[in-house]
Amino acid sequence: MTRRVAVVAAVAACLSVGAPAAGAIDRAPATPSRPSASETVSASASSFKALRRGDSGTRVRRVQYALKKRGFHVATNGKFGPLTHSAVRRFQRIRRIKVTGTVGAQTWKALGLPLAATKPSPTTTTRPPGVYRHPSAAVERWHAVALQVGWAERDWKRLSCVIQRESRGNPRAQNRSTAMGLLQILYRVHRVWVGPDATILLDPATNLKFGLKMFKGRGWKPWASVSHLCDA
């Protein structure tokens, strides 16, 4: 009898080794779910660094271009001054956004600017092959502006050379002959299509835009005195 009990106990022990613990259920391992598009946008909005009066830089310039495109009178100098502040408030009022004069995520998005673009750029950048960079930072800073107003990338090397020789990259350069701005456009010669306000030629984007109009009509001839010194 004792021997039989021992055998039964041994068999029971063997069966219990492979048995699952009470309440255990076979299931596939959990996989982390990917954030939805709305969650990504919300995260971008929550980390958005608002722009306000007194700020400056590329992001301010992007806001100014977006406002100018919508008919607001602002300078595109990258400085969040009183004119930009006033334009932002008017834009917010029109779009029924809380009027603060500060560009938060909602205003930024309403201007048609992508939230993802507000992430800080890396400290080091890789230049695309074949893209020319002017050695002078005072000139190269207008590279993106030139492309935005319609200049072709292939023309930047000569254009940047002309800017260097005409104004050294100073958008407010002018002389007694009424040559003004980055490309030293003669106001007295082009007054008909520039308009009554000569100072608009001191706005970098406007100056480059009028310069492009001249270039399309006459090539590099308006800057013949300096363009022949530049490599094509």
Does 146 lie in the same domain as 114? no
Determine which helix (DSSP H) or strand (DSSP E) holds 180, and give its type and residue range. strand 179-180
Q: In tens digits, what is the pLDDT along the chain, a chain of 232 residues?
A: 555 545 445 545 544 444 444 444 344 444 444 544 444 445 556 788 999 999 998 899 989 988 988 888 889 898 999 999 999 999 999 889 999 999 999 999 999 888 764 444 444 445 555 789 999 999 999 999 999 999 999 999 999 999 999 999 999 999 888 899 999 999 989 888 788 888 889 999 999 999 999 999 999 999 988 888 886 5
User: Looking at the 3D structure of the chain, how many domains does it have?
Assistant: 2
Of residues 135, 129, 132, 160, the one with CA closest to residue 146: 160
Report if residue 39 sits inside a domain: no
- Each residue's pLDDT tens digit, 156-208: 999 999 999 999 999 999 988 889 999 999 998 988 878 888 888 999 999 99
Q: Is residue 101 part of a domain?
A: yes
Residues 92 and 164 both lie in one domain? no
My answer on whether 103 and 171 are in the same domain is no
Domain range for 146 is 137-227
Write the CA distances from 156 to 138, 161, 181, integer angstroms. Answer: 14, 8, 17
> Among 61, 83, 118, where does a domain finish?
118
Residue of 166, 209, 160 whose CA lies nearest to 184:
166
Give residue 156's identity as a one-letter amino acid code.
Answer: W
The structure tokens 């080794």 sit at 17
Which residue matches tokens 């959990």? Answer: 30
Single-letter amino acid code for the residue at 52? R
Instruction: Output the CA–CA distances (angstroms, integers) from residue 168 to 80, 113, 138, 165, in the order listed.
Output: 24, 31, 7, 6
